[in-house]
Amino acid sequence: MSTSLRIVDPVSGAAAVIAPHLGWNCIAFEVEQSGHRVDVIDSPEDVLTGSHRPSSFGIPILFPFPNRIRNGRFHWEGRDYDVPLQPGKPNAIHGFCYDRPWRVVDQQPDQVTGRFQLSVDDPDRRHCWPADFILDVRYRVAENRLECQFRITNPDSVPLPWGLGTHAYFRLPFGNGAPESCEFSAPVSEQWELCESLPTGRRLPVENLAPIRQGVAFGSQAFDDVFTGWESDGGTVRNTIIDTAAGVQLSQICDQEYFREVVVFTPPGRAAVCLEPYTCVTDAINLQTQDLNTGLQVLAPGQVVQTWAVIQISPVYV
């Protein structure tokens, strides 16, 4: 099935499109800004019918682990686990939710909620994780915002280790200018040292005047990095893209209680940048055995947690 769901704010006209069969991927978010319609999400034209890699467009949802697990293997509470690898890839990547169909559990004109339960929606991979889980994700459009509410439930009788992330591809530019007119930034103080895309366990300082803190011009530097030390702004953390030529600013604002890492990725050959908020570092479930502060969460049987993220579009005055 290749259907999609469109939600609209009746006042502002802001709209988003979600594809349940593509991992509950939000494939479009558009608002009226600076006199023209702006769609900030990068998705291919044939996104609903093509055979694109599931994590290569829109806003993939990464759960119960974001990014990679080394060799697809980990040890948890006395047992070894194997997570399936993609063909030709050395590590497991991005969890179990982004490449499977979800169920719609609530739909209204301006919001829609999807559900993924491992034992129901991907039973063949249930044995690959220590506990079953239910992930509910609600998208809502309001004024100039796309609001995302995450609800994580442990329906099992054993503890649930988990990490959550999103992998938004933001299309550049936001107007008729050049992608190079856009700058992106994240107020971070450290980055995880990586070896072949996996953290070594060391955290390195980001100098106070490092470009990622102040604003990097698109095309001036390639990124595929995991940053941490995300500075709080009154209980929230945020990163920003500014298109001065279009007079448009995008802010991604997240719940500081859970989100602590941000991956910055510039996909090769594309006029797009990924700003990926994570609740834990890459390969957290293995790194936590080294007594490192990885951000890995553990949910007790029967418990529920909620968190959120918002994408907001606003004018830039220059």
Under 8 Å between Cβ of 34 and 62: no
Q: How far is CA 310 from CA 79, 143, 168, 246, 277, in A?
A: 37, 12, 12, 21, 11
What is the reported pLDDT for 318? 56
CA–CA gap between residue 177 and residue 179 (Å, rounded): 7
Please state the pTM of the whole predicted model.
0.96
What is the reported pLDDT for 1? 47
Q: How far is CA 245 from the centre of its chain?
A: 27
What is the reported pLDDT for 35? 76
Match 């070894």 to its residue by tokens: 80
For 95, half-sphere exposure in the C-beta direction (CA atoms, 13 angstrom radius) is 29
What is the reported pLDDT for 143? 95
Q: How far is CA 232 from CA 126, 177, 228, 258, 305, in A?
A: 36, 32, 11, 12, 20
* 170: CB partners within 8 A, 6+ apart: 40, 41, 42, 241, 250, 272, 273, 274, 275
Q: Does domain 5-315 have CATH number 2.70.98.10?
A: yes
CA–CA gap between residue 79 and residue 95 (Å, rounded): 19
What is the reported pLDDT for 208? 67
Please write the tens of the pLDDT for every residue from 154-173.
Answer: 999 999 999 999 999 999 99
Please write the tens of the pLDDT for every residue from 49-60.
Answer: 999 999 999 999
Match 């994590």 to its residue by tokens: 55
Output the six-digit token pair for 186: 């994240």
Backbone angles phi, psi at 281, to 5 degrees: -80, 160
Backbone angles phi, psi at 180, to 5 degrees: -65, -10
Can you give the residue ranges of every domain in the chain? 5-315
What is the reported pLDDT for 200? 97
Summarize the confidence of residues 131-136 as an average pLDDT: 98
Summarize the confidence of residues 231-253 as an average pLDDT: 95
Query: 70, 269, 63: which is closest to 161 by C-alpha?
Result: 63
* 150: CB partners within 8 A, 6+ apart: 135, 136, 137, 164, 306, 307, 308, 309
Backbone angles phi, psi at 125, to 5 degrees: -105, 10
What is the reported pLDDT for 233? 84
Confidence of residue 209 (pLDDT cuts 50, 70, 90): low
Under 8 Å between Cβ of 278 and 262: yes
What is the reported pLDDT for 36? 83
CA–CA gap between residue 291 and residue 279 (Å, rounded): 17
Q: How far is CA 188 from CA 151, 231, 305, in A?
A: 26, 6, 25
Output the six-digit token pair for 123: 């039973």
CA–CA gap between residue 264 and residue 211 (Å, rounded): 12
What is the reported pLDDT for 21? 97
What is the reported pLDDT for 82? 98
